[in-house]
Amino acid sequence: MNKLTRAGLGLLMTTAVATVQAEEVRIGMITTLSGGGSHLGVDVRDGFMLAIDQAARDDIEVLIQDDARRPDLAKTLSNEFMQRDEVDIMTGIIWSNLAMAVVPSVVRQGTFYLSPNAGPSALAGRLCHENYFNVAYQNDNLHGAMGAYMREQGFERPLLMAPNYPAGTDALAGFKHLYEGEVDGGEVVDELYTQLGQTDYAAEIAQIRASEADSLFFFLPGGMGISFMKQWQNSGVEMPVFGAAFSFDEIIIQAVGQAAIGAMNTSEWAYDLDNAANRAFVEAFRAAHERTPTLYAAQGYDTARLILSALDEAHPDDQDAFREALRAADFASVRGDFRFGPNQHPIQDIYVREVVEGTDGKPTNRLVGLAIEDIQDVYAEQCRM
């Protein structure tokens, strides 16, 4: 074979590859599928893939990797996705500390990132980026909404409790921001900070009992909330309990059992939210996985549907057009109304749910009403895009 033919063949092959890539869309998902808190990642994945499967498009390839909740691993995986697999869009990260390790460099290098869960304040404010979209919430949203709801319901002396780590202190700050707003209402009695990963709450419960509080708001994600609620039930303390949906998703309240009943929690979505998109989603998810979806599954589903709606308009290689299509958020969200604020985080309604006994005797969430309408995070004004 002479040199010229070889060069010609090579050229032919590169153009062939290029045309395939121009048509196909690769999505890289890094999420937590093993270790503590993996049910969040599993639900995000299952919700996301449900929407992809329903779309039945053969030009979309989704690559899924497990980060085991480790920032270093997530970082390595994101580098692989960008350099080896050359993905167009990335998504999937559950935890804010992992998102902080991965997202800024991904979006700077020109890949789109859509967050199906983590919404750290820095990415909503100072580090916002035109290629970064958050389809779930800014982390403070649900806590703030509960602050607003509890003030409106006339609770005057809430006691707050959270683990002593950034998301914990942010949660309480978010709550207080909307609880201690303009109307002179109540006052926070005390703030208890626990250790991250703590499993025994006897000492905190004794302190709550001894306090003057009329209600309890807590943020204890994952196993911490399960332990706390079970111990709370047997402690004999009578006090209404409030939290964000992170401590009361369908999987956690099954593990908590009867102790969860009566707890109120805020969520941007509920499985009994009455709109056509949501009814179809819940039915399809239950049929596919034989369980009720959690808010994480709904977020994964919405993320995929947003991507699909934008792909109908443009290919991610045409960055400006694709970005515009994402900003338009022209899809039927399972949450009902959905739109992006200037920092590309949602402006959305937050609902209140109550944990009740379901028809099968197991605890489940029931929609109670609206906590706050069109909430937007306070970090948007720090965002210069």
Partner 1 sequence: MSATLLIEQLINGLQLGTMLFLMASGLTLVFGVMGLINLAHGSFYMVGAYVTALTTASTGSFLLGLAAGSLAAAAAGAVVELLVIRRLYHRSHLDQVLATFALILIFSEGTRWLFGSSPLWLSPPEWLAGSVALPGGARYPVYRLMIIAVGVLIAAGLYLLISRTRLGMRIRAGESDREMIGALGIDIRRLYTLVFALGAALAGLAGSLVGALQSVQVGMGEPVLILAFVVIVIGGIGSIKGALLGAILVGVVDTLGRIFLPALFGLFMSPSEAAGVGTALAAMLIYILMAVILAFKPQGLFAAHD
Q: Which residues bind partner 1 (CB under 8 A)?
A: 34-36, 38-39, 42, 164, 169, 190-195, 197, 199-200, 202-204, 206-207, 209-210, 223, 226-227, 230-231, 233-237, 251, 254-255, 257-259
How many Cβ atoms are within 10 Å of 378's Cβ, its own excluded?
A: 17
Rg of the chain over all Cα atoms, to the nearest angstrom:
22
For 52-63, b/e burial (b = at least 16 CB within 10 A) is: bebeeeeebebe
Shortest Cβ 175–partner 1 spacing (Å): 13
Residue type, 305: R
Shortest Cβ 203–partner 1 spacing (Å): 5
Q: Which is nearer to partner 1, 54 or 231 (CB)?
A: 231
Shortest Cβ 251–partner 1 spacing (Å): 5
Q: Which is nearer to partner 1, 65 or 111 (CB)?
A: 65
How many Cβ atoms are within 10 Å of 314's Cβ, its own excluded?
A: 16
Give the CA-trace dihedral at 325, 326, 329, 330, to 10 degrees: 30
Q: Which is nearer to partner 1, 92 or 341 (CB)?
A: 92
Shortest Cβ 330–partner 1 spacing (Å): 36
Shortest Cβ 379–partner 1 spacing (Å): 20
Separation CA 189–CA 243 (nearest Å):
16
Whose structure tokens read 């033919």? 5
Nearest to 279 by CA among 266, 293, 296, 289: 293
β-bridge mates for residue 250, sequence order: none
Q: Which is nearer to partner 1, 112 or 217 (CB)?
A: 217
Separation CA 218–CA 214 (nearest Å):
14
Q: Which is nearer to partner 1, 79 or 235 (CB)?
A: 235
Work out whether the CA dihedral 323, 329, 330, 332 comes out positive or negative: positive
Shortest Cβ 204–partner 1 spacing (Å): 8
Shortest Cβ 231–partner 1 spacing (Å): 6
The residues, ordered by sequence, that sit 6+ positions from 332 with a Cβ below 8 Å of its Cβ are 275, 276, 277, 305
Residue type, 51: A
Whose structure tokens read 């964000």? 244
Q: Which is nearer to partner 1, 202 or 385 (CB)?
A: 202
**Please, what's the largest Cα pairwise distance for the chain?**
90
Q: Which is nearer to partner 1, 43 or 88 (CB)?
A: 43
Q: Which is nearer to partner 1, 24 or 200 (CB)?
A: 200
Shortest Cβ 197–partner 1 spacing (Å): 6
Q: Which is nearer to partner 1, 46 or 349 (CB)?
A: 46
Q: Are 382 and 126 in contact (CB under 8 A)?
A: yes
Whose structure tokens read 């944990």? 355
Q: Which is nearer to partner 1, 42 or 352 (CB)?
A: 42
β-bridge mates for residue 5, sequence order: none
What would the DSSP string read from start to end of 220-287? -TTHHHHHHHHHHHTTT----EEEEGGGS-HHHHHHHGGGGTT-EEEES--TT--SHHHHHHHHHHHH
Shortest Cβ 164–partner 1 spacing (Å): 5
Shortest Cβ 173–partner 1 spacing (Å): 9
